[in-house]
Amino acid sequence: MRTLGALARFRWEGRETLRQMDRAGVESIPLILLTGTFSGMVLAFQTARQLLAMGAEGFVGGLVAVSMAREAAPVFTAVTVAGRVGAGFAAELGTMKVTEQVDALEVMATDPVEYLVLPRVAALVGMLPLLVLLANAVGALGGYAVAVLVGVPGGTYLSSVREFLDFADVLKGLGKATAFGAAIGLVACTKGLRASGGAEGVGRATTSSVVTAIVLLLILNYFLDLLLF
């Protein structure tokens, strides 16, 4: 609630937000390129073999593209970011908490939520949809390459994508990514600011952050699917 209040009052650290966007988004690009490409390749490999056997190769591209846009890209990207960025946020804020740096901010009349939490949540909300777009793009390329190697004509694959993939699917997937970004940021920052017990406590908070975020993402994904699709 304090995060929402600070957001409503437009009281946040712009420079810190940009720094966290670079950390959460730009530095995650190599990993997203890898996971997105191989997600598309696996989807294409599994679907192309089955559909070719049934003479339904005209559905391969559409199935891969829709699956990536609706599910694979948002979920896999969010899980990857939760493990990489969320864990880092929890560890960083946990260390600040146990070393009393958070208390020092409060003594200086600086709200830790506005200075520490909001920039990180805003960075994830802003950058995760862009990372999902990237995952969609490289997943489509990886899926195309594998499908062609398996035996699906390239033109047939692309025609299938144009026929079955709606722009609404992409937008709804980006909407899911926005919600996932907020969830990861809030969980990571909450766990970090509640850390106690020195280095061991920071480790527990970091582990708990990743586990809680992934479980929450899977639950949230189900209900968002019911709402959006």
pLDDT tens-digit series, residues 69-116? 999 999 999 999 999 999 999 999 999 999 888 888 778 877 888 888
Indicate the domain borders of the chain. 13-220
Which residue in the block uniquely carries the two structure tokens 């929890």? 90
| Cα distance between residue 68 and residue 46, in whole Å | 14
CA distances from 101 to 17, 106, 108, 152 (A): 19, 9, 11, 58
How far from 223 is each of 15, 100, 171, CA to CA, in Å? 34, 39, 17
CB neighbours of 64 closer than 8 A, spacing ≥ 6? 40, 43, 44, 47, 139, 140, 143, 147, 161
Cβ 38 vs Cβ 140: under 8 Å: no
Q: What are phi and psi of 158, to 5 degrees?
A: -65, -40
Quote the pTM value: 0.90
Residues 158-191 pLDDT 10s:
999 999 999 999 999 999 999 999 999 999 999 9
